[in-house]
Amino acid sequence: MQISSSVSPSVSSSVSSSVSAEKIREYLPEGFFRTVIVKEMTESTNDDVKILAREGAAAGGAAAGAVVISNGQTRGRGRGDRYFYSPADSGVYLSVLLPVTADNLLMLTPFAAVCVCKTIEELSDLRPQIKWVNDIILRGKKVCGILCESLPQESCTVVGIGINYSTTEYPEDIRDRAGPVFETNVPDKNAFIGKLLCYLTDTALFDRCIEEYRRRSFVTGKRILFRENGVLHTAYAKGIDDCGRLVILEGGSVRTLFSGEVSVVCMSE
């Protein structure tokens, strides 16, 4: 997987004092993420990046390799078009355009999850886990969600990452299951974002991401709940296969889940 562009580098920052496109670029390898945009507030970074992709395609340029970062989102969303709580100042919200082929499309969500985990691990002594398929878990609570959206006409995929970086206040309906990555010793956001983007360009890591994903699995070896065709099922999570699918044991039969959302029967296990 390679990210490059024939377009001249573009750097743009708004009034946000904590995140700077110029400082983030100091961490990036030359030739990658040639468009870096930082906003104070936006509706959705995924939507912003989609606009960049379409504009790049219309102009005949390379769309992949752009990133939009925002200090907050007013219409952040997760899987199933559900609202993703994105308060200003205390989160990290970014969307990246990555090249996509039939071979790597299904691996982008596991890869992005591993990249987030490795960034957290590099900058702290924390050990995050991944709840299949796209949630990062710390202290039994969700601290990050990932939403990948394919743009086949532009030959790229939007990888959206929303992180509860240091958020301490949550709406009542998610308070029991959402939490911050960093409670103390909060790293500089520019360093975090820069290192995360570097991991997202690591082709060797992409090639071994399932191995890394398995090591951090929050669900393997646990009883889970999931819905299928409107019916609630209980099963035992056996592991993750080579395609990133969840292997389960249900009623004496082994099968795989391709997508969806699972819940661990006891989050504190």
Are residue 78 and residue 54 in the same domain, yes or no? yes
Confidence of residue 75 (pLDDT cuts 50, 70, 90): confident
- Cα–Cα dist 193/191, whole Å: 6
Whole-angstrom distance, CA of residue 173 vs CA of residue 256: 31
Mean pLDDT, residues 176-202: 96
Mean pLDDT to the nearest integer, 158-162: 96
pLDDT tens digits for 225-269? 999 989 999 999 999 999 999 999 999 999 999 988 899 986 444
163 located within any domain:
yes
Q: What is the pLDDT of residues 106-115, one digit of tens each?
A: 899 999 999 9
Domain total of the chain: 2
Which of 24-33, 168-177, 181-190 has maximum average pLDDT? 181-190
* In a shared domain, residues 96 and 56: yes
Could you list the residue range(s) of the whole structural domain that residue 260 is in? Answer: 223-264
Give the per-residue pLDDT at 238: 98
Looking at the fold, whether 237 and 170 belong to one and the same domain comes out as no
